[in-house]
Structure 1
Amino acid sequence: MANDKLDELLKYTGISPRPLDFDAYWARALSELDAQPLKFQLVPADFQTPLAECYHLYFTGVGGARVHAKYVRPRHREGKGPGLALFHGYHGGSGDWFDKAAYAAHGITVIAMDCRGQGGLSEDRSVVKGTTLKGHIIRGIDEEDPDQLYYRNCFLDLAQTVRILKSMEQVDADKIAVHGCSQGGALTVACAALEPSVKLAIPVYPFLCDYKKAWELDVTSSAYEEIAYYFRFMDPLHTREAEVFDKLGYIDIQNLADRIRGRVIFVTGLADPICPPVTQFAVYNKIRAEKELVVYHEYGHEYLPNLSDRVLQEVLKL
């Protein structure tokens, strides 16, 4: 039965729309990012180890928001080594220093960005019409201009973060990896798509994909619940349904997946009730770059055994 289910998933290509001007939308956004100065501030952290130097890193993102990341580099590295950008789950932040220091102890320089207005120290300076209740997928959906969508600038922050990482003197710009789970998995895909110099992407059960399919499923018990709440409170007769899903197409990572140029190790659990596997496969099946699918058949949105070990080993091989 599991193999039959997987065979069907491997044929699925999504039902959410791709806006007609999608490529122009992101070309315009990246042009705005290109004009952004690649400046940053490093502030030594209270947490330090004999093997890792730890800093708070701040930069100004598109739209003027002050974005924070944890930056950890090897204390005794000779020459250039790999860089790893880490992205966190929905509502969370960049987490503890410990796991970043563990990478640094192996010669890997790490940057872990806080998404704007979520659980870390990054600002969200967006001012938008309509509801901002329940989540960031729908933030800006009532604006006429889709440039006001929350994830537009969040995705640009990812690319800016990797550009900063590549500029560090101890980092080999040809050995950049990106990794994250859930929202972090989605940001991993978006980052590798918008910054195609990324050599390795390891997304794990990614969020932010195939919104219409997620809505058709039991979204009130999943990470996509805010879409159902939006219609319930803001458009109960669904008069704007087509418009809403078309606009969400700008920030649907399945529409970015074919831009990835680096190798992808795509990790998923077939029992995931939070980010439905079918939505994730809409992304995987559109990746044209070298890719590997890692399936945890009886696992869902949870700890996946041996995955952290695999991530470290793959980054060290860059």
Structure 2
Amino acid sequence: MKTSSRTKYFISLITLLFISTFAVNAQWAYSNKPVSVIVAPDHDDWNYKLGENVNFNITVLKFGNPVKHIEIAYKVMPEKMEPWQSETITLPEGKYTVKGGTMKTPGFLRCAVTAIVDGQTYTGTATAAFEANKIKPTTTMPKDFVEFWDNAKAEAAKIPMLPKMELVPELSDRDIDVYHVNIRNYRSNAKVYGVLSVPKKEGKYPAVLKVPGAGVWGHFMVQDEHVKQGVITFEIRIHGVPTISKEPNLHGDLWNGALWGYWNINLDNKDHYYYKRVYLGCVRSVDFISSLDKYDGENLAVYGGSQGGALSIVTAALDSRVKYLVSYYPALCDLTGYLHGRAGGWPHLFDKTNASLNNTPARIETSKYYDIVNFARILRTPGFYGWGYNDAVCPPTSMYSAYNVITAPKTLNIMPDEGHFSYQEQKDKAHEWLFEKLLSN
């Protein structure tokens, strides 16, 4: 396969994005930094019973050895809330234990530590879980929730799909055909854009719909990692603009311009909120996959992380053609948590930063129609879920609020020290779970 300069650019870009994200979140990244601030609860699994005290063990290492006479600042608080305790102290031997206390209601208690070594600031975090399986959501389900989405799907279904497919030579080879696709979506002038990858060999194949994390991104111009294993993949973006564009600054200009803070657009009206078109676009993407000659007509999964983790749950809940889902650290869960004195899900519509804009009866009511908790309540699709306790973008309290109301078959893989990322080991388990199901029929 030929590699164009544009392809090389996107490969470099995605590599840099991955490295920077991992370095920010992973407190074990010795190879990336000379100093590590290690924070860990005194239970190996980071789980505690209500009323049980947690001790947070802190170690500051440089080149693998404790840093003596180092000054640190720590704070202990429920995630995303104000600190219960905080202190700046000097550690003679580079080690310290913070008595974190306990929680009387199910949730998470976080210890965040900062150290300055040789003029550079280093941080570490650990988050203890207190009976997380008992966390209940704060949001409520509107009486017409199912009717609202049934009507929306029926209205969207009246619009002809009119798919357009353009071969992408840079990503195609002797085994795979790759196409840049657009299809009509909710309201006749809207579109869903994505990249479709199809095995060339004759036959019928399972399919995976891949839904995106937050932001305004084009396609990264790398071959899909799953298509060569014998599945069709359709990787979409949500904003109705070309995924592969000849305008190199298109997505960045939109992200920093008209689509900045898109999750707030029309939040005061449930019929016009930004995510209505997005959620229906995911269903329309299932329509498109179902129309493909090489699709086996039966085995379809949806797969995503963060915003994509939320869209995975939404798509499966709205469309029974989806047989399996994988959801990493889903966003948009229990959005009203902040209105009840605890963390809510990304995009934190009602936290102290956004409450002045969004804390109105109309916006609170609209949020209920788009909250992942309410889709989880009607979900009937088997799913694999994965996240960590240290996630500061999608707080685990919010994710458990959705997970705990799911009655469909569910598998949860927790790696406690993960932030807003997944270790390869977790991805491997999700991959094994999903592809055993997709390819066994």
Provide the TM-score with structure 2 as the length reference.
0.63
In structure 2, the residue matched to 1:20 is 143
User: What code does the residue aligned with 2:381 have?
Assistant: G
C-alpha distance in 1, partners of 2:259/2:166? 33
Residues 17-58 of structure 1: CA deviation (Å, up to 9, x unaligned):
322321221111111122222331111113222321110010
* 3-state SS of paired residue (1:147): coil
79 and 59 in structure 1: CA distance in 2 versus 1, 3 angstrom threshold: same
257 and 174 in structure 1: CA distance in 2 versus 1, 3 angstrom threshold: same
**1:1-318 pair list within 5 angstroms:** 1=43, 2-4=46-48, 6=129, 8-47=131-170, 48-63=172-187, 64-76=189-201, 78-93=202-217, 95-100=219-224, 102-116=225-239, 120=243, 134-143=260-269, 146-214=270-338, 216-217=341-342, 223-228=346-351, 229-232=353-356, 234=357, 238=359, 240=360, 242-317=361-436, 318=438
Residues 69-123 of structure 1: CA deviation (Å, up to 9, x unaligned):
11001122x32111001011100436434351x3121111000111116894699
Structure 1 residue 315: deviation in Å?
3.7
C-alpha distance in 2, partners of 1:258/1:290? 13
- Gapped regions of structure 1 (runs ≥ 5): 124-131
Does structure 2 retain, via aligned residues, the 8 Å contact 1:136–1:150?
yes
C-alpha distance in 2, partners of 1:34/1:117? 17
C-alpha distance in 2, partners of 1:14/1:231? 19
Residues 184-226 of structure 1: CA deviation (Å, up to 9, x unaligned):
100001011111221110000000111111564577xx84245
C-alpha distance in 2, partners of 1:263/1:88? 20
60 and 19 in structure 1: CA distance in 2 versus 1, 3 angstrom threshold: same
User: What code does the residue aligned with 1:212 have?
Assistant: T
Does structure 2 retain, via aligned residues, the 8 Å contact 1:67–1:121?
no
More displaced 10-residue stretch of structure 1: 11-20 or 191-200: 11-20
* 3-state SS of paired residue (1:306): helix
Aligned identity (percent) is 24
224 and 56 in structure 1: CA distance in 2 versus 1, 3 angstrom threshold: same
C-alpha distance in 2, partners of 1:45/1:39? 19
Does structure 2 retain, via aligned residues, the 8 Å contact 1:196–1:259?
no
User: What code does the residue aligned with 1:294 have?
Assistant: N
In structure 2, the residue matched to 1:129 is none
More displaced 10-residue stretch of structure 1: 199-208 or 35-44: 35-44
C-alpha distance in 2, partners of 1:49/1:308? 26
Structure 1 residue 249: deviation in Å?
0.4
42 and 156 in structure 1: CA distance in 2 versus 1, 3 angstrom threshold: same
Give 1 or 2 for the bigger CA radius of gyration.
2
255 and 118 in structure 1: CA distance in 2 versus 1, 3 angstrom threshold: farther
Greater strand percent: which structure?
2
More displaced 10-residue stretch of structure 1: 260-269 or 301-310: 301-310
231 and 117 in structure 1: CA distance in 2 versus 1, 3 angstrom threshold: farther
Residues 113-147 of structure 1: CA deviation (Å, up to 9, x unaligned):
11116894699xxxxxxxx875233211234xx11
* 3-state SS of paired residue (1:67): strand
Does structure 1 retain, via aligned residues, the 8 Å contact 2:195–2:243?
no
* 3-state SS of paired residue (1:173): strand
Does structure 1 retain, via aligned residues, the 8 Å contact 2:268–2:366?
no
Does structure 1 retain, via aligned residues, the 8 Å contact 2:191–2:240?
no
Equivalenced residues, count: 299
* 3-state SS of paired residue (1:18): coil
C-alpha distance in 2, partners of 1:26/1:290? 23
C-alpha distance in 2, partners of 1:51/1:275? 38
Structure 1 residue 311: deviation in Å?
3.9
* 3-state SS of paired residue (1:203): strand
Higher relative contact order (CA 8 A, sep 6+): 1
Does structure 2 retain, via aligned residues, the 8 Å contact 1:91–1:118?
no
* 3-state SS of paired residue (1:191): helix
C-alpha distance in 1, partners of 2:382/2:232? 19
Does structure 1 retain, via aligned residues, the 8 Å contact 2:210–2:236?
yes
* 3-state SS of paired residue (1:254): helix
Residues 216-260 of structure 1: CA deviation (Å, up to 9, x unaligned):
4577xx84245444433x46xx5x2x4322210010011011332
7 and 223 in structure 1: CA distance in 2 versus 1, 3 angstrom threshold: closer
C-alpha distance in 1, partners of 2:272/2:140? 19
Greater helix percent: which structure?
1
Does structure 2 retain, via aligned residues, the 8 Å contact 1:82–1:315?
no
User: What code does the residue aligned with 1:271 have?
Assistant: N
- Gapped regions of structure 2 (runs ≥ 5): 1-42, 49-127, 251-257
* 3-state SS of paired residue (2:433): helix
User: What code does the residue aligned with 1:285 have?
Assistant: N
96 and 314 in structure 1: CA distance in 2 versus 1, 3 angstrom threshold: farther
183 and 119 in structure 1: CA distance in 2 versus 1, 3 angstrom threshold: farther
